[in-house]
Amino acid sequence: MLTVSHLNEGMKFVALCTISQGTEPLRFQWFKNGFPISNHISNAKIETSSIVSNLIFEKVTRADSANYTCVVSNSFGEDSKSFTLSVKVSLKWIEEPKDSTVTEGRDFIINCNAEGIPPPQIKWKKGQNEVQRSKQTLEFKSITLGDSGEYECIAENGVDNSLRMQVTIFCSVFQGTEPLEFNWYKDGNSLNKRLSNGKIDINLRASTLTFDKITRIDSGNYTCVVKNVYGENKTSFALTVNVAMKWIEKPKDTTIILGHNHIITCIADGFPRPQISWRKNKNVILSHSERFEIKNADYKDRGEYECKAENGVDQILSKTFKITIVGGSTLIFEKVSRNDSGNYTCVVNNAYGEDKTSFVLTIKVAMKWIEEPKDMTIVEGNGIIINCIAEGFPRPQISWWKNKNVILSHSERFEIKNADYKDKGEYECKAENGVDQILSKKFKIIVVDQPHIQPMFTTQTVGEGVTYTALCSVSKGAKPLHFQWLKDGMPLQSDSENLKIETSSIISNLIFEKVNRADSGNYTCIVTNSLGRDSKSFVLTVKVSLKWLQKPKDEIVLLGNDVEIECLAEGLPLPQIKWKKAQTYLPVSSKILKVVKANLEDDGEYECIADNGADNALSEKFRISVVVCFEISLSSIAPKLIPLPSLNPINEERPFALFCIVEDGSLPLSFQWFKNYKLINEQTESVKIESFKSSSNLRIEQLKQDHSGNYTCTVSNAFGTDSQTVNLIVKAPVKWLKEPEDIHVAMNSEITIECMAAGAPQPKIIWKRNKEVFPTVNGKFHINRVTLSDSGVYDCIADNGIDAPLMKSITIHVNGTSPIFFEWSKDGQPIKENKIIIKTEETISTLTINEVSRFDGGNYTCVARNAYGKDAHFIRLTIKIPMTWKTEPQDTTVVEAQSLELVCVADGNPEPKITWIKKEPEIFINEGSYLRIERVKTSDEGHFECIADNGVEKPLRKIVKVVVVDAPKISKTLITSSFSEGSTFLSTCAIQQGTPPFQFQWLKNDAIPIVEGKNVNIETNDILSILRINNVSLSDAGNYTCIAKNAFGKDTQIVSLIVKDKIIQNNVEKLTIKGLPENSGKFECVADNGVDTPLRKSVEVVINATSLLKMGFNVVFLLMLNVAFCSHAPKLIPLPSFASIKEGSSFKLLCSVSEGSDPLHFKWSKDGKTLFEINIETNERDSTLKINEIKQSESGNYTCEVSNSFGKDIQVINLVVKAPLKWQKEPKDVQLLLDENEIIECSVTGFPSPTIIWKRNGNK
C-alpha cells in the first residue's frame, strides 16, 4: 500500500488493495479517517474482484486529503493497510493588487491575498528592497511623493512557483491650478520622455516614471518637478539598484622563489561595489586593494591566505589560497611529461667538502585508449581477432569479460577461431593500472548464419471449410530475413479474402480462413538472408465431403424415344456412380444413364448412388415414365386446373394462401381440399376455404409446424375431375435444447457427450473434428477409451436442411500421466527474461509476465512431456490497443427485393474480427465489415447484431433493427393465350406475397382501363383479382395487364390474348356434328375463292342431353388411360451474343422459354463445363443466373440449355469481365552494395492485359 501520495487537485487517483495470501472468499472495506467510505465520499467509487479492491477518484479535490484504510477479512481473520493522501492545491490569487493614484498626504491601503495548499506567505517589495512581510495589506500613513514607485506583492508556499504582481504608485498633485507641466531629472540632468529602458506617462494631474527592466545604470537621484503659471514644486528620491556579487578574478595557489617579487590579484563585481580585504591566518593584512604584492619573498611569507569581497548587502565572497616559498637551488619543471620520470640528485659543496641528496620522480600518465574494441558481426564457423590496447603510467593490464566472468587476462588480443552461436553476446574489455579509474569498453559479438527453418509436417490432410495455418519458423539465421511462399512452384500472393500471409521477424504464417478444394497442392516456404537460403515444403490435401452437383429427376419419355439422365456428385476421394432399378444394379458406371428407344419395361423407379468409400454414400431415387401419345381434336369439357406453384419452406407465424383456379371446364364446378389426402376440416385444421364459380382459395392466418404437409385441390363437374397438389413445409428455426460443454478427462477413461436441438424439420445431429464425422446415437457421441489423440476441438452441428445450421465447438482436454515435465519458449527460443515468472505444479505450469509491454508480444510455446510422449500448446500474445467504433450500423427500413447493406467498422489491435449474427434465434450470418443482401426477403426482417472481437478484450456489440416492407409480387400461373372465338378467357392475378392493403387495376394494351360489361367480369378480393371474358370475339385480342400496388411498390403481369376463328372443318361440304352438349351453339359456313366476297351462312345447333351418362362414362374412361397429349419441344427467347461488364459489379442473365411443354429442365454451363456452385434460380418457365461481385476469371461463354421430353434448345452469350489495373507485386526502394546485383519486380494484373514499361529519370 502507499504511505503518502502528493497529488495536484483535479488529477485521477487509484489506490490498489490486493492480498499476497489468504483463503477466499474475501471481504474488502474502505475507511476515511476511521469512517466507512460509502458514507463520506461522493466522488469516489470502489471496484472489487475476488482478490483485489480499487479505490478510484476520478478528480481529487482538497476535501479528499485524509487518512485512508483498506480492511480485508475472511473466515480466519483480517488485515489492514493505511496511507495518507495529500492533495496539493496550486497557488491562485484571491485578491490581486492594482495600480493606484493617491493624493499626497492621505492614508492608503493596498490588498494582496492568495490561496493554495500549503498556505502561501505574502511579502511586499519596492524595487529590490523588502518593505513588509507576512501581511496581506500594505499600509501608507499620510503618503508622500517619496512613496511613489513600483511595488511587488509575492505569494509563495515553497512548493509551487511563486505568484508575483507589480503595482505602481503614481506622483500625483493634490493641489494646484491647471494646466500643469511635469519634468523628470536624474542626478540633476533632464530625462528624455523616451527612455531606452522605460517610459514617462503624463496626464492632467499626475506623471509616472516606469522602468521596463531595471539595471545598475539606473541607480541615481530622481526628481519630479511640477509647475504652472503661479509657481513650481518638486520632490526627489534616490533609486539604488542592487547587483549580486560575483568573482571576476580569484586568487590561486602560488609558488614564489626566495627573494623574488610577486603580485596576486583578487577582483569581484556587484552593486553596491564590493570592498576587498586580504587576510593571513585570519588576520587582516591589507584592505581596499584588489592587488596584493610580496616583495623580496622570504620564508616568513609562506602560509595560507584569504581574499574576501563584501558590499554590506550580498553574502560575503571568500577565496582561500596558499603561498609556497622555495629557496637555495631549485629545479623547476614548467610542464612535466612522462620523459621527466627518473632518479634526480642534488650536490652541494664548498671549500670544506660536499653533500648530496637523491629522489625518484615518477610521472603518472592517465590511462587512455589506443585501440578500443567495437561491435563485431561474424559468420558462423569463421574466425575473428579483436584488439584492446590502452596506455598510461603505470602500464595498464588488460582483461576480457563476458557475463561478468573473466575469460582472458593479460592479453591485448582476443581471438575466436571457429565462431558458434554460443559465442554471441555482450563482452567487456577492462584496462586497469591500480592508480587511475578503470577504463571499460563494452561491445557485442553477433554470430550470423544462413537461415535454418524448423522442421514441418510433410503432409497435411484437412477438411474443407476449416481454418488452417501453416507455420514457417526460423530456428536460426541472421536478420533481416525475407520470406516467400510458393504453391506448386509458383509465387503465392495474399490478395484474396480466404488467404493471408502474416510475417514477423522470424516467423511467417500462411493462413487459410476457410480451406477449399482449390487450396490442395504442394506448398513451399523459402527464407533468405544475405548469407544464403533455406526452404521447407509440405503437401496440403483438402478432404471434400460428398455432395450432389446434379441430382437425377423424374422424366417422362414417349414410347420409342431416347432419354438421358445425368447424376453428378463431388468429393475427395472422387466418388463412383452406380445405378439401380428395383433393387438391382445396372451395368452402368458413368454419370449418364441412357435409355434407348424406351419401351414399357423401362417404366419404373430408379436410383443413383454416389460412393467414395470414405463418406456415407449419397442416394437419390427418381422415376422414368414411359407414355403413349394420342392426338385429341375434340375439346375437353372436363375441368382443367392451372398448376399450383412449387413452394419454398415458409417461416412459422407467416400468413399463407393457395389459389386453385380452373383454366377450362363446364359449369357448375365443385371444389374440395385435402391435406395428406384426407379431406380438410376447416375447424380442426385452422384454415379458411373460399370457393367461387371457377376458383377456390385456402388461407391460413398464422402458420404452425403442424400445417406442414401435401395440400391437394380437387375440382369436378359432370364430365370429369382434375387436381393439383403442392407440398407445404413450415419451418421452425433450429435452436439448442442441450448444448455440449468443454470437458476434462483422464486417459483410458470412458466419456459420452450429448448435443440436442429442436426445429422443423427436425434437425440432424452431426459430430465432427476437422471434418471427420463421428457416429452418433440420438445426438450422443461416445469414446470408449480416451487417448491423448482424442484431445482437441469438436463441433456439434444441428442441421435440418433448411435453416442455417447451428454449430457449437467444445474442447476435450485429456490429462496426461505424472510425472509431467514442462518447457516454455518464446518465438522458438528459451525464455530467460527476469520479469517472466514460470511456476510449475504437478499438472499445471503457469507463465506470468509482470508489467506487460509491447515487446512481450510473440509466439509462446508450452511443451509437456512424460514417459509416454509429449504435447505442445501455442499461444500468440498480442499487445492490444483498445477497440473503438469507427462506423456503427444503423436501424434500416428496406423494401423487399432491393439490396441491403449494413456497415460495421471497428479499430483496435489485434485487428477486430467483425461477425454478424441474426437474432431471434441467433444465427451466424456473415464475417466482415459489410453485410450485404442483394435481394432482401421478408424472412430477412429482424434484429441483426454486429460483434467486433479481437480475442483480447470484451467484444463491442451493436444491435440494429431491419424492417422489410413487401412490394407486391404476383404469383406466376400458366395461362393459355390462344383462344377460339366463342370460348371463355380467364386471367388470374394472385398476390404471392406483399404487405396489404393492395389495389388492383386491369389494362388492355397497356393503356385502356378495363371495366366490367356484358361479357367482361372482374372478381377481386384482398389478395386476388380474376379477369373473365365470356364468348371471346376477335375484338378482344390484345395484351391484358394486371397491376397490383401497395405503399411500397407494384408488380405487373401481362397476358397476350390471341383470338382465332373457330374452324371446324376445311374443304368439306358436309359437317358432321356429334351429339355432345359442348357442340350446342351457332355454326357458320364460309365459302371463299380468294377473289369474290366470301359467302357466309350461320346456323344454330341445339343438343338434347339424352345420352349424357354414356358420354360421361367415355370421358372418365379416357382419363384413366396411361396416355399423354402430344406437345412441343422448348424454344428459348434469344440472348445477346456478347456482353461486357466491370469487375466487382453484379451480373444477372435470364433464360426464358417462349414455348414448349412442361416439365422443363434447365442446365447452365461455362466454356462447356456444367455450373453447380453458383447462384441459379429456376422457375417453371425461366431460369436466372446470378453472379455477385463478378471477377475477371469468370469471363467466358455461358450456355443456357432447356429440355423436355420432346426436345431441347440452347442460347450462348460471350461474357467479358473488365478488370482494373492493380499491383500484383509493387516495386520497392532498394539499397545495394557496390558490385551487388538485385532484381526489381513490377507485376500488374488487369484486363485487357497491361504493358510494362521501365523508365529512368523520365526516359525509357
Please write the tens of the pLDDT for every residue from 218-245.
788 888 888 888 888 888 877 777 778 8
Q: How many Å apart are CA 1 and CA 607, to the nearest integer?
A: 80
Phi, psi (rounded to 5 degrees) for 644: -75, 140
pLDDT of residue 431: 92
Is the pLDDT confidence value at 1111 over 70?
no
Phi, psi (rounded to 5 degrees) for 958: -145, 125
Q: What pTM does this model have?
A: 0.29
Written as nine digits, the cell of 761 is 424439420
Contact criterion met (CB below 8 Å) for 1132 and 1125: no
Q: What share of the chain has pLDDT > 90, as a percent?
A: 10
pLDDT of residue 192: 64
Asked which of 1036, 1063, 1090 is the last residue of a domain, the reply is 1063
pLDDT of residue 609: 94
Give the H or E element holding residue 684.
Answer: helix 682-685
Phi, psi (rounded to 5 degrees) for 1119: -70, -25
| pLDDT tens-digit series, residues 842-852 | 667 888 887 77
Is the pLDDT confidence value at 1095 over 60?
no
Can you tell me the mean pLDDT for 883-895? 87
Can you tell me the mean pLDDT for 640-649? 81
Asked which of 612, 629, 646 is the last residue of a domain, the reply is 629
Which is more confident, 966 or 727? Answer: 727
Contacts 24+ apart (CB under 8 A), 77-81: 79/19, 79/22, 81/1, 81/17
Is the pLDDT confidence value at 156 over 60?
yes
Residue closest to 836 by CA, chosen among 846, 825, 847: 847
Query: Does 871 share its domain with 915?
Result: no
| pLDDT tens-digit series, residues 286-339 | 767 888 888 888 888 888 899 999 988 888 999 999 988 887 677 778 788 878
- The amino acid at residue 744 is H
pLDDT of residue 328: 66
Residue 1070 falls inside a structural domain: no
Residue 652 falls inside a structural domain: no
DSSP assignment of 923-935 = EEEEESSEEEESS
Which is more confident, 406 or 1081? Answer: 406
Query: Does 769 share its domain with 840?
Result: yes
pLDDT of residue 231: 84
Query: Does 485 share its domain with 499?
Result: yes
Is the pLDDT confidence value at 535 over 80?
yes
Can you tell me the mean pLDDT for 1009-1037? 85
Can you tell me the mean pLDDT for 711-720? 89
pLDDT of residue 975: 55
Query: Does 258 share its domain with 228?
Result: no
Residue 1108 pLDDT class (50, 70, 90 cuts):
very low
Is the pLDDT confidence value at 695 over 50?
yes
Is the pLDDT confidence value at 1115 over 80?
no
Is the pLDDT confidence value at 684 over 60?
yes
Q: Residues with Cβ < 8 Å from 893, sequence gap 6 or more? A: 962, 963, 965
Residue 516 falls inside a structural domain: yes
Which is more confident, 479 or 440? Answer: 440
Which is more confident, 103 or 325? Answer: 325
Query: Does 1115 share its domain with 1134?
Result: no
Give the H or E element holding residue 1116.
Answer: helix 1108-1119
pLDDT of residue 1120: 27
Please give the C-alpha separations between residue 822 and each of 814, 834, 877, in angstroms, as whole numbers: 16, 18, 19
Is the pLDDT confidence value at 417 over 80?
yes
Residue 1094 falls inside a structural domain: yes
Residue 106 pLDDT class (50, 70, 90 cuts):
confident
Query: Does 194 share its domain with 253?
Result: no
Written as nine digits, the cell of 446 is 553477433
Q: How many Å apart are CA 513 and CA 798, to the nearest integer?
A: 22
Q: Residues with Cβ < 8 Å from 350, sequence gap 6 or more? A: none
Q: How many Å apart are CA 551 and CA 569, to the nearest integer?
A: 8
pLDDT of residue 621: 92
Query: Does 829 share its domain with 846?
Result: yes
pLDDT of residue 1114: 26
Residues linked to residue 1019 through DSSP beta bridges, in sequence order: 1026
Residue 389 pLDDT class (50, 70, 90 cuts):
very high
pLDDT of residue 712: 94
Contact criterion met (CB below 8 Å) for 771 and 462: yes
Query: Does 979 share its domain with 1093?
Result: no
Residue 264 falls inside a structural domain: yes
Highest mean pLDDT among 232-241, 546-555, 859-868, 1088-1097 belongs to 546-555
Can you tell me the mean pLDDT for 542-555? 86
Would you give the DSSP letter of residue 407?
A: E
Can you tell me the mean pLDDT for 492-504? 80
- CATH number of the domain at 609, please: 2.60.40.10
Q: What share of the chain has pLDDT > 70, as a percent?
A: 87
| pLDDT tens-digit series, residues 796-835 | 998 887 777 888 888 888 776 567 788 889 888 888 877 8
Domain count, the chain: 11
pLDDT of residue 526: 95
Can you tell me the mean pLDDT for 538-565? 86
Residue 620 CB burial class (10 angstroms; 0-12, 13-18, ≥19)? middle
Q: How many Å apart are CA 166 and CA 171, to the nearest integer?
A: 17
Query: Does 870 share its domain with 918?
Result: no
pLDDT of residue 1107: 31
Is the pLDDT confidence value at 1131 over 70?
yes
| pLDDT tens-digit series, residues 27-41 | 888 888 888 887 556
Would you give the DSSP letter of residue 617?
A: P
Is the pLDDT confidence value at 529 over 80?
yes
End-to-end CA distance of the chain: 72
Query: Does 593 share its domain with 623?
Result: yes
3-state secondary structure 563-587: EEEECEEECCCCCEEEEEECCEECC
CA atoms within 13 A on the CB side of 929: 11
| pLDDT tens-digit series, residues 1044-1059 | 998 888 888 888 888 7
Residue 1082 pLDDT class (50, 70, 90 cuts):
low
Q: How many Å apart are CA 450 and CA 526, to the nearest integer?
A: 12
Residue 416 falls inside a structural domain: yes
Query: Does 984 share its domain with 858?
Result: no
Is the pLDDT confidence value at 50 over 70?
yes
pLDDT of residue 1173: 61
Asked which of 877, 899, 920 is the last residue of a domain, the reply is 877
Can you tell me the mean pLDDT for 1195-1200? 90
Residue 180 pLDDT class (50, 70, 90 cuts):
confident
| pLDDT tens-digit series, residues 903-941 | 999 988 778 889 988 877 677 777 888 888 888 887 788
Residue 623 falls inside a structural domain: yes
pLDDT of residue 163: 60
Range of the domain at 79: 4-89
Residue 705 falls inside a structural domain: no
Residue 1106 pLDDT class (50, 70, 90 cuts):
very low
Residue 1078 pLDDT class (50, 70, 90 cuts):
low
| pLDDT tens-digit series, residues 338-363 | 788 888 888 888 878 888 888 888 88
Query: Does 125 share its domain with 149?
Result: yes
Is the pLDDT confidence value at 645 over 80?
no
Write down the mean pLDDT value for the chain: 81
pLDDT of residue 502: 87
